[in-house]
Chain A
């Protein structure tokens, strides 16, 4: 177990290095350097030069990179180009909103995908399977920003049941908080449901043809018991291990849903910093989302190594 942990952590080092390198390259591709973005187009040349020196932009690239990574490790993500806010605290302030939205979307997505995926695999090549699979494909084909707009039109503009946009924090008013979240969470959850349902269906199909399922059936166990206790329990493992992909879907989707429904989360921060050419803030969001995905993947792996003896025996999966 310790060996597995150590190996898993060591594996993360080169990945983190490349993540930082990709972002560093991206920042340096921005036309004009940080000093100019910070001071604006009409800044006097000597002020520019002074700030460049202060920010270390006149040093060689590798020194700049090391300095930047050093700052990151100390939790210093820099300051916003626009209003000089510290990047990391601003990000952390937005996290609860995106986290709540994602959690609600996960709940909605899985409660659709779980029964749909199991039913589709169990009743393979029947009308149930075809309609569930077609529904999932439709979910994948509808752009989520369009779905959001349609929901706003139906429930906010036409029926006036829900607010079109805006956000009420959970600490202020739970009821209004949920009302402001239900549409965006549904939009986000539907994409996730489609992704998870398709994965679960194919993984259920694998498991249902396994020997132990046949044995369980032969023992005369009830169909439902075999399906849930034997098949689903194993089929759900590969679907959960790709949690990182699901989180990526959620964070990417949050950019769109938060923009459309005006939720002040991480995704909207990303879009706002693009519009405001606030590349420092954008960099922070991108870094933060990559780190969260790596961290979730790590946690999923560790939890599974604790739960699933096969992983421990194999000494960890690559």
Chain B
């Protein structure tokens, strides 16, 4: 008898989760566009990781004998105003974009998830205060808040990531709270509680694992937005600092040479657009298989 009581509450959500993940993976693979997006994203991640081996030249080595060279056999995408190889800079620039996209969303989740969980699980005054706080944070235009936080913290990729995370935090807080509110009313939570499970056990074993799915979906879509925001901050001079290449700061520098060397302004934007499109498509695919309305 004791065995059954022990096993029941622990087993159910875990098997449900596993079955859910397999099912989702199958559905995801059937959505061809989402799959393509995912594959492209993985390729970009690999390129970023293997940048020193993939890139034909150094991204920061200047060559004043070969500045502003148009695309050609020696430099596939030309050289910039300091004679650096644009193609190599774009390959290395993927690092800043991906780091910003993934880490800032991770930070946003790390800050928003526990707060949302606490708000939804304990309700009451804590919930009221936290929800009005998110209302307030969400009433700032995202980019303007990110800009203000980045301006206060000062330039740098790490600080830009914090700024983006601050903007994303209330989104995850809201979402987690909404999830927890529905999960905590479920019968298995009642059952666990009736069997004497403590709050901590209910949260960790039941509510949390079953609430994570929408967070993952939302997070994947936010990675796309975070990549654009980092590029925007870097474009305005607040993100990645020279000489480290980033797509946003490359576009910033290229602006002055728009008439002489328009190719400098072209490729970094294409790189951003392809990366963000891939993440968006994959994220949309995730959301579609998750959203019961579109099934």
Contact = CB atoms under 8 A, between A and B. Distances in A.
B143 A143 contact: no
Given A141-B280, A143-B232, A286-B148, A244 B139 contact: yes
Given A142-B269, A143-B232, A149-B251, A289 B144 contact: yes
A250 B281 CA distance: 23
A249 B228 CA distance: 13
A36 to B, nearest CB: 15
Nearest to B153: A29
A305 B22 CA distance: 45
A26 interface: yes
Contacts of A149: 251, 254-255, 258, 265, 269
A137 interface: yes
Contacts of B152: 26-27, 29-30, 279
A160 B294 CA distance: 47
A252 B258 contact: no
B236 interface: yes
Contacts of A153: 258, 262, 265
Given A30-B152, A141-B277, A255-B144, A15 B269 contact: no
A146 B144 contact: no
Contacts of A256: 143, 232, 235
B293 A290 contact: no
Contacts, number: 143
B280 A140 contact: yes
Number of chain B interface residues as a range = 35 or more
Contacts of B284: 137
A206 interface: yes
Nearest to B251: A146
Contacts of B272: 141-143, 146
B151 A206 contact: no
B259 interface: yes
A282 B151 contact: yes
A205 B151 contact: no
Contact of A252 (B141, B149, B255, B262): B141
Given A29-B152, A141-B280, A146-B272, A255 B132 contact: no
B135 interface: yes
B142 interface: yes
Contact of A137 (B268, B269, B281, B293): B281
A60 interface: no
Given A140-B280, A248-B142, A22 B273 contact: no
A138 interface: yes
B140 interface: yes
A27 B153 CA distance: 11
A30 B251 CA distance: 28
Contacts of A21: 136
A141 B281 CA distance: 10
Contacts of A132: none
A243 B142 CA distance: 14
Contacts of A143: 228, 231-232, 235, 248, 269, 272-273, 276
23 contacts: A15-B139, A18-B136, A18-B137, A19-B136, A22-B137, A137-B280, A137-B284, A140-B224, A141-B228, A141-B273, A141-B276, A143-B228, A145-B232, A149-B258, A149-B269, A150-B265, A202-B293, A244-B139, A251-B143, A270-B148, A271-B147, A274-B151, A297-B139
